[in-house]
With several copies, the nearest count.
Chain A
Amino acid sequence: MTQATDSFEEIESAVVRFAGDSGDGMQTIGERFTDSSAFAGNDIATLPDFPAEIRAPAGTIAGVSGYQLQFGSHSILTPGDEPDALVAMNPAALKSNISDLPEGGMLVVNVDSFKKMNLKKAGYESNPLEDEEFRKKYQLIELDLTTLTKEALSESPLKPSDKARCKNFFALGFMCYVYGRPLDPTLKFFDQKWGKRLPEVADANSTALKAGHNLGDTMETARNRYQLAKAVVNPGVYRKISGNEALVYGLVAGAQSANRELLYSGYPITPASPVLEGLSALKKFGIKTVQAEDEIAAMGVAIGASFAGDLSVVATSGPGMCLKSEFIGLASITELPVIICNVQRGGPSTGLPTKTEQSDLLQSLFSRHGDCPLPVIAAHSPSDCFECSIEACRIALTYCTPVIYLSDLYVANGAEPWLVPNAADLPAIEAKFADPDEEYISYKRNPDTLARTQAIPGQPGLEHRIGGLEKSEDGGVNYDPENHEQMTHLRAEKVERIADTIPPTQLHGEAEGDLLVIGWGGTYGAITSAAQAMQAEGFSISSLHLRHLNPLPKDLGEIIKRFKKVIVPELNLGQLSLVLRAKYLVDAIPLTKVQGKPFKVSELRDSFHKELS
Chain B
Amino acid sequence: MSTTNTEEGSLTKKDFVTENDVRWCPGCGDYAILNAVQRTLPELGVPKEKFVVVSGIGCSSRFPYYMNTYGFHTIHGRAPTVATGVKSANPDLSVWMVTGDGDGLSIGGNHLMHLLRRNLDINVLLFNNRIYGLTKGQYSPTSEVGKKTKSTPVGSLDYPINPLLFALGSEATFIARTSDTDQKHMVETFKAAQAHKGTSFIEIFQNCVIFNNNAFDTVTGRAVRSEQALMLEEGKPLRFGENKGIRLNGFDPEIVELKDGDDESDLLVHHSKTNNPAYASILAQMAYPAFPTPFGILRQIEGRETYEDALHSQIKASQSKGEGNLQELLTGKNSWVVE
Contact = CB atoms under 8 A, between A and B. Distances in A.
Contact, chains A and B (beta carbon distance below 8 A): yes
A35 B70 CA distance: 49
A206 to B, nearest CB: 18
Most buried by B among A234, A265, A461: A461
A290 B138 contact: no
A278 to B, nearest CB: 10
A288 interface: yes
B69 interface: yes
A461 B89 contact: no
B48 to A, nearest CB: 7
Interface string A239-260: 1110000000100110010000
B311 A291 contact: no
A473 to B, nearest CB: 15
A239 B329 CA distance: 11
B253 interface: no
B54 A304 contact: yes
A539 interface: no
A249 B325 CA distance: 11
B55 to A, nearest CB: 8
Contacts of B336: 38-39, 237-239
A461 B85 contact: no
A563 B330 CA distance: 40
B281 to A, nearest CB: 23
B151 A308 contact: no
Most buried by B among A277, A284, A287, A421: A284
Contact of B85 (A301, A330, A349, A350): A301
Given A286-B315, A304-B84, A457-B70, A420 B64 contact: no
Contacts of B54: 304
Nearest to B315: A283
Size band of the interface chain B makes with A:
35 or more
Contacts of A185: 334
B327 interface: yes
Given A239-B332, A307-B85, A420-B331, A458 B154 contact: no
A276 B150 CA distance: 9
B338 interface: yes
Given A283-B154, A307-B82, A301 B88 contact: yes
B141 interface: yes
Interface of B: 1-5, 18, 20-21, 23-26, 47-52, 54, 57, 59, 64-65, 67-78, 80-90, 92-93, 106-107, 109-111, 114, 132-136, 138-139, 141, 150-154, 156, 158, 210, 311-312, 314-315, 317-319, 321-324, 326-327, 329-339
14 contacts: A35-B334, A53-B24, A239-B336, A270-B135, A284-B324, A286-B323, A288-B311, A296-B78, A303-B85, A305-B88, A422-B327, A423-B327, A461-B2, A477-B20
Interface of A: 35, 38-39, 41, 53-58, 60, 62, 185, 192, 230, 233-241, 249, 252-253, 256, 261, 263, 265, 267-270, 273, 276-277, 280-310, 312, 319, 326-327, 330, 334, 349-350, 420-424, 436-440, 457-469, 476-477
